[in-house]
């Protein structure tokens, strides 16, 4: 495998010098941000490996449609399965000789009362949003380090910065994505690998059709009128979409911008939120100042360069 990869890296490097095109792996491409990103990246001529589950079942039509787009290959990958993710990325590296970009986008929304989530519900939430991202990162990083370049983009949320009530478990998973991405950003940047976070606000995508709530319904009655708030949040979000009309393509465009930006110049965080994004931007700027002070205090100031 090592010899194959080394030979492939030489071929990949030659191709890059001639075309500047990248090999891009994207999860959760059957809808929403993933679907739009796959199309947007492929339109620039990059080689896209678009992943989704159940390509012969419920996602068959989506897989066929996406697979008919030039520069896109659809892979059936379960992001919650180590073997599925590792085999997919290893297969890409063996075929292409390299992997340049990983976009960890797969996920679902979780709302409702936090106490209604069982331990299993929480484990599932973290597996899909956090551990799944780590699976693809772990599989791709050795090759990216060997190449001396690579880009990992993790899709977080404004709710990875502020934990809104009645979305608590979802928020907690996105907070974990932020923590994973921020620390890794500084660890691997000296090796030529960039780690970046996209923080979208609320957009009218299929994610809200995949909303899950806690499975312990017995606790709901004990919350009285508070149990009705999640439904009101949904109504308010619908009104927001009508008023602001946020376009999900903005997120795909932000991902493309990161891919097109030279290595070492990519920001750690990119907020994409036409409705309430200034809230997150302000927090990011304030925290960055103190974070830099923290790294400097512990003798890691060279990592800030």
How sure is the predictor about 11, in pLDDT bands with cuts at 50, 70 and 90? low
Q: Give 75-80 contacts, CB < 8 A, sequence gap 24+.
A: 75/49, 75/50, 75/51, 76/51, 76/52, 77/27, 77/51, 77/52, 77/53, 78/53, 79/27, 79/28, 79/51, 79/106, 79/128, 79/132, 79/135, 79/136, 80/127, 80/128, 80/131, 80/132
Whether the per-residue pLDDT at 41 is higher than 60: the answer is yes
Choice among 117, 170, 186, 291 that is catalytic: 170
pLDDT digits (tens, 9 = 90+) for 218-256: 999 999 999 999 888 878 777 877 888 889 999 999 999
Name the residue with higher pLDDT: 232 or 66.
Answer: 66
Q: Reduce the secondary structure of the chain to three states and give it as a string.
A: CHHHHHHHHHHHHHHHHHHCCCEEEECCCCCHHHHHHHHHHHHCCCEEEEEECCCCCCCHHHHHHHHCCCCEEEEECCCCCHHHHHHHHHHHHHHHCCCCEEEECCCCCECCCHHHCCHHHHHHHHHHHHHHHHHHHHHHHHHHHHHCCEEEEEECCHHHCCCCCCCHHHHHHHHHHHHHHHHHHHHHHHHCEEEEEEEECCCCCHHHHHCECCCCHHHHHHHHHHHHHHHHHHHHHHHHHHHHCCCCHHHHHHHHHHHHCCCCCCCCEEEECCCCHHHHHHHHHHHHHHHHHHHHHCCCHHHHC
Query: What share of the chain in percent tops pLDDT 90?
Result: 83
pLDDT at res. 208 = 67
pLDDT at res. 18 = 47
Prediction pTM value: 0.92
pLDDT digits (tens, 9 = 90+) for 172-218: 999 999 999 999 999 999 999 999 999 999 888 777 667 899 999 99
Query: What share of the chain in percent tops pLDDT 70?
Result: 93
How sure is the predictor about 142, in pLDDT bands with cuts at 50, 70 and 90? very high
Give me the half-sphere count of Cα atoms (radius 13 Å) on the Cβ side of residue 207: 24
Q: Residue range 101-128: average pLDDT?
A: 97
The CATH code that applies to domain 2-304 is 3.40.50.720
Q: Residue range 86-110: average pLDDT?
A: 97
pLDDT at res. 2 = 54
Whether the per-residue pLDDT at 1 is higher than 60: the answer is no
Please indicate whether residue 186 is annotated as part of the active site.
Answer: no
């Amino acid at each position: 495998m090592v010899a194959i990869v080394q030979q492939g890296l030489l071929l990949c490097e030659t191709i890059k010098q001639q075309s500047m095109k990248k090999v891009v792996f994207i999860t959760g491409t059957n809808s929403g941000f993933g679907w739009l990103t796959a199309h947007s990246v492929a339109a620039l001529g990059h080689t896209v490996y678009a992943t989704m589950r159940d390509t012969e079942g419920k996602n068959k039509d989506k897989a066929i449609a996406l697979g008919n787009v030039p520069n896109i290959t659809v892979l059936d990958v379960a992001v919650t399965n180590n073997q599925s993710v590792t085999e997919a990325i290893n297969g890409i590296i063996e075929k292409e000789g390299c992997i340049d970009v990983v976009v960890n986008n797969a996920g679902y929304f979780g709302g409702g009362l936090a106490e209604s989530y069982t331990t299993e519900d929480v484990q599932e939430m973290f597996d899909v949003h956090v551990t799944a991202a780590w699976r693809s990162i772990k599989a791709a990083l050795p090759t990216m380090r060997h190449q001396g370049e690579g880009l990992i983009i993790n899709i977080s949320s404004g709710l990875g910065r502020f934990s809104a009530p009645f979305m608590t478990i979802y928020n907690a998973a996105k907070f974990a994505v932020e923590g994973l991405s921020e620390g890794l950003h500084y660890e691997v940047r000296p090796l030529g690998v960039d780690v970046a976070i996209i923080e979208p606000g609320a957009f009218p995508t299929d994610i809200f059709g995949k909303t899950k709530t806690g499975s312990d319904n017995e606790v709901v009655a004990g919350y009285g009128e508070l149990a009705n708030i999640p439904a009101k949040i949904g109504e308010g979000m619908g009104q927001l979409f009508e008023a602001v009309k946020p376009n999900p393509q903005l997120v795909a465009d932000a991902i493309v911008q990161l891919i097109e930006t030279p290595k070492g110049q990519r920001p750690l965080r990119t907020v994409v939120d036409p409705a309430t994004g200034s809230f997150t931007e302000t927090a990011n700027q304030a925290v960055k100042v103190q974070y830099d002070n923290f790294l400097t205090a512990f003798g890691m100031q060279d990592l800030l360069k």
